[in-house]
Chain A
Amino acid sequence: MSQYSVIGTRVHRVDGLEKVTGSAKYTFDIVLPNMLYGKILRSPHPHAKILNIDTSQAEKLIGVKAVVTGKDTLGKKQGIWRRFPELCDEEILCREKVRYIGDPVAAVAAIDEDTAEEALDLIDVEYEPLPAVFDPMEAIKEDAPQIHDGVELNINVTRHIEWGDVDEAFKKCDHIREDQFKCSSQAHMCMETHDAVASYSYDGKLTVWTSTQSSYYIQRLLADILDLREGDIRVIKPPTGGGFGSKFELDSAQFCASVLSMKLCKPVKIVLTREEEFTATKRRTPMYYYLRLGAKKDGTLLAKEVRVITDGGAYTGMGATALYLTGFFSSFPYKYPNYRYDGYRVYTNTAPTSAMRGFGAPQSTFVGESQLDMMAEDLGIDPIELRRKNGMTPNYEVPGQAYIQSCGLHQCLDKIEEHIKQRGKLPPNHGIGIAAYGFMSGGIFNWFDTPYAFSAAIVRINIDGKVDLFTGACDIGQGSDTTLSMICAEELGVHLEDIRIYSGDTGICPADLGAWGSRETLMNGNAVKMAAADAKRQLLEFAGAKLGANIVYDMDIKDRWVHLVDRPERGVSYFDIVKEAIRGKDGEVIIGRGHYTPHRKGMISPAYSFGVQAAEVEVDPETGRYKLVNVTTAHESGTVINPVGIEGQLEGAIMMAGGYGFCEDQPMDEGKILNPSIADYKLIRSLDMPETKILEIDTYEPEGPFGAKEAGEGLTNPTAGAIANAVYKAVGVRINNLPITPEKVLRALREKQKQKR
């Protein structure tokens, strides 16, 4: 029997009813009185000077209320790595230069969308095209065009991670492999595109409704760039149609709508088109990988050297984090005694690359797990055995970097091994490939430079026992509203339906860094638990007096029953205690406060989740086409708070990560994305989705609320690598650059046949 009443149970999402009835109002649906519609004019050139912008004809168009350009802004640059001003390199509305096809140069507000769009055609921009560079390998050369002033060789960020002595260690290895890989970009493809409704009032207050992963970040970034006080900006996150990493930076819809609204003192709504979504919002960071791996002949991994060049696109965004994390997670999930990583993020004149679910780890897992299988084959060791021999274990310290408390990797390996055995002999052209991963539960390094605790929550108990939970955490579909409500209910000892959550509204919720890096459950969960415990303590003060129990007895609340822990029959109704507590405190409202910032956990993450995935493919050797037959994942994420939520995250991750391995791609020509539509950007649909199986491993993470840690982002790490390994097992060819398309497979098969002759 579970020790918990709420967490671990299968519940309806707390926002479920409004979503299944179509009554949830997304930013996309918001209509306000006197609201205007905005559109953004974007650069058709990958790199150019802006000589002149003539907006006079557009302004004359009937129905147009305002046209703004970079000259109408304060000319400030902003960026999400606020701690390092040189990385805050994006003005959004460009003043002197454009750096990618899609870079905004003007925005229009009009009485309707069609008029706004028509006005864009009437804005005359005089450009002086500059030489452009699209490949980071070219951009890093001496004679390449310089994209940002003062940035030599277009090297935006570098990162170095090292422990042990890699060069010495390689000398001791029995076998060394060197391999190169190319990881592609990927589009987030949120069903709701970036959008915002900004409303600036005459008293100088700006309210922005927007589809976002972090209303606090947007509030702070708007305050920076508009020179407004943080408290004069209120950012409200309505139900949001997906984020996946694309929506926690300040985007052009939010900024331009705000600038226009400030000019007109009227609400302005901007909804990016799907084409803008593909071309002018940020995307997954493409990476060029060089890996050197050394082992003893018994399979002990001794040394790993990693060199990466990432394609930064035109601006930094969150790219610095992706650069760092890909280097860190290249060491996961194994114990390398000697390790060295050198990463370079290089600007190019393409759409900026930034954060996307997995944050550099899907890339590092694809390359690392592919190479590991190759090493296993070289050494004649079973791939699971090789992973077992070197896999991380609980309470392991990544030298100088991180401390891993809970870790269920080995149990996951066992489960997958069992699964593969049970599958038995495979039909011809079938193959099962595996990949292991580990991922963080939120990040620690304070690149945003926030003075606030990373997560905070407030609990307020009403006279009728109904609990209001205020938290800055943002539910973008991943279910944090439900998970956090469950944690609150569990801690406070009430039912889930007693909790009402207010989230993602900077006007009423305490700051939270937002939904990225898979941090909400652990970080905000801890804050919520603390707030609920604080409120509970206040209730128990009165219960103690009422029950008059011996001092040696503890009290607690469970199932709306305030009682002595050791004598649960002695107790009183939660509802009664609430009334007494409020009355007894002079009518004062019961408020509980909680916050959480990881301390003394290193600079990366307070906890890590692990898993192993097995993908089975069926290849058609005559065409190279393959089907994803089955994807089975053994994973552990500490205590499972919201099982329905985790299952959903896992299956959704397979669709996204499978797509990364299988079909999603953004081919470019001279900086222009060639497939900016859902018809042309290939995604897995219901007929393409494999059978999925989840094998849950029980672990407990001391740092997390009730022992919970991340699930949802880590699960996007393994699939591309598992597919690569599966294709190799099926037909004996290995593809080292993503996506693994049928054409690449067929070409490799033909090469192989040629070599045989």
Chain B
Amino acid sequence: MIRDFEYFAPKTLKEALTLLDKYQDECKVIAGGQSLLILMRQGLVAPQYLIDIKGLSELSYIKSDTKEGLKIGALTTHRAIEKSPLIRKKFSVLAEMERRLASIQTRNWGTIGGNLCHADPAGDPAPVLIALNATLSMASLKGERSMPVEDFCLDYFETALEVGELLTEIQLPATPPHTGTAYTKFNVIESDLATVGVAVSITLGAGDGVCQDIRIALGAAAPTPMRAKKAEAVLRGKKITDNLLKEAGEVASTGAEPISDIYASEGYRRELVRVLVTRVGKEALARAKQA
């Protein structure tokens, strides 16, 4: 059951930050609440003060920036991202990922910011954003700061957000030419949480087909979403072949830190990393060639 709390629905970001500054770690922020309410109903989280920021429409937007990148407000819903013509055109992998995230009902109300702040290592958005080299911004009364998404998650359900800080925006840099990004998650039931998730982004050189840059991000393979940097090194600067993709998969598998739980053993998760890095890498390569 949910314990009683004092409730605030600030109308502006400034108001919200002021409340956060006032109540420090005695308060919790609720956006869509699709993750938080489950914890509160089960009595696992029981804040004295609840700051409801769902109404801050100023943080809900998807817009191009001057350099052809994209800015997404933290309170943008999953569904808005899934259906955005802009995102489908420029960052289609994000829309694909959203399409298999939980259910439509969850996506209609839950927000991308809320998802990232929940920091479930099996979450879908983080690996994709990491592969897209995304950054995010946080604000507090003291000011703003930014960091790469891949530095945001510190541990299971723990982020770099400090007391008094609110996630405000996610930034996607412009996609370099000849870049392809793909994401897949393994699960037994469609739309279920990832048993393992893999996102790969490959940028090819113009005309020579050499891998100029590559980013491999894994979900549910470690306490936080992780970059498989050693696996990337296998492919970076080389002409990508099937064998190299296989090798990258093996290196990623060895470097991952998956757990054993009731859904899969550690060994099986490693197998999945190996197979999926190769597969998703192939898909990303194909997309890069088309781009």
Residues in A lying within 8 Å of B, measured CB to CB? 113-114, 117-118, 622-623, 625, 662-663, 667, 674-675, 679-680, 682-685, 687-688, 741-743, 746-747
Contacts and interface: CB of A to CB of B under 8 A. Distances in A.
A747 to B, nearest CB: 8
Interface residues of B, number: 17
Contacts of A688: 189-190
Contacts of B193: 679
Interface in B209-224: none
Interface of A (DSSP majority class): loop
Nearest to A113: B1
Nearest to B272: A623
Pairs A-B, 4 closest by C-beta atoms: A687-B190, A743-B268, A622-B275, A667-B262
B1 A663 contact: no
Nearest to B43: A117
Contact of B191 (A117, A687, A746): A687
B1 A682 contact: no
**Taking each of B191, B192, B264, B276, which has the highest tally of chain A beta carbons within 10 Å of its own beta carbon?**
B192
A747 B268 CA distance: 9
**In this complex, which of A663, A675, A679, A743 has the most chain B Cβ atoms within 10 angstroms of its Cβ?**
A743
B186 interface: yes
B271 interface: yes
Given A113-B1, A625-B186, 15 more contacts: A117-B1, A118-B1, A623-B271, A625-B188, A662-B188, A663-B188, A667-B262, A679-B193, A685-B190, A688-B189, A688-B190, A743-B265, A746-B268, A746-B271, A747-B268
B189 A683 contact: yes
B1 to A, nearest CB: 5
B1 A684 contact: no
Contacts of B189: 663, 682-685, 687-688
Interface string B165-208: 00000000000000000000010111111000000000000000
A687 B192 CA distance: 11
Contacts of A662: 188
B84 to A, nearest CB: 23
A42 B71 CA distance: 51
Contacts of B268: 743, 746-747
26 contacts: A114-B1, A117-B1, A118-B1, A622-B279, A623-B186, A623-B271, A623-B276, A625-B186, A625-B188, A662-B188, A667-B262, A675-B262, A680-B262, A682-B192, A683-B189, A684-B189, A685-B189, A685-B190, A687-B189, A687-B190, A688-B190, A741-B188, A743-B264, A743-B268, A746-B268, A747-B268
Contacts of B271: 623, 746
Nearest to A681: B262
A371 to B, nearest CB: 26
Interface in B68-108: none
Contact of A685 (B186, B191, B275, B276): B191
Interface string B257-273: 00000101100100110
Contact of A623 (B190, B192, B265, B275): B275
A61 to B, nearest CB: 14
Contacts of A663: 188-189
Nearest to A684: B189
B180 to A, nearest CB: 21
A746 B270 CA distance: 12
Contact of B262 (A114, A625, A674): A674
Contacts of B186: 623, 625
A679 B41 CA distance: 15
A599 B276 CA distance: 61
Interface string B1-36: 100000000000000000000000000000000000
Nearest to A680: B262
A344 B287 CA distance: 59
Nearest to A622: B275
Nearest to A744: B268
Contacts of B279: 622
Contacts of A625: 186, 188
Interface in B271-291: 271-272, 275-276, 279
Contacts of A687: 189-191
A743 B266 CA distance: 11
Nearest to B192: A682
Contacts of A685: 189-191
A34 B155 CA distance: 49
Most A C-beta atoms less than 10 A away, residue of B193, B264, B271, B279: B271
B253 to A, nearest CB: 13
Contacts of A742: 188
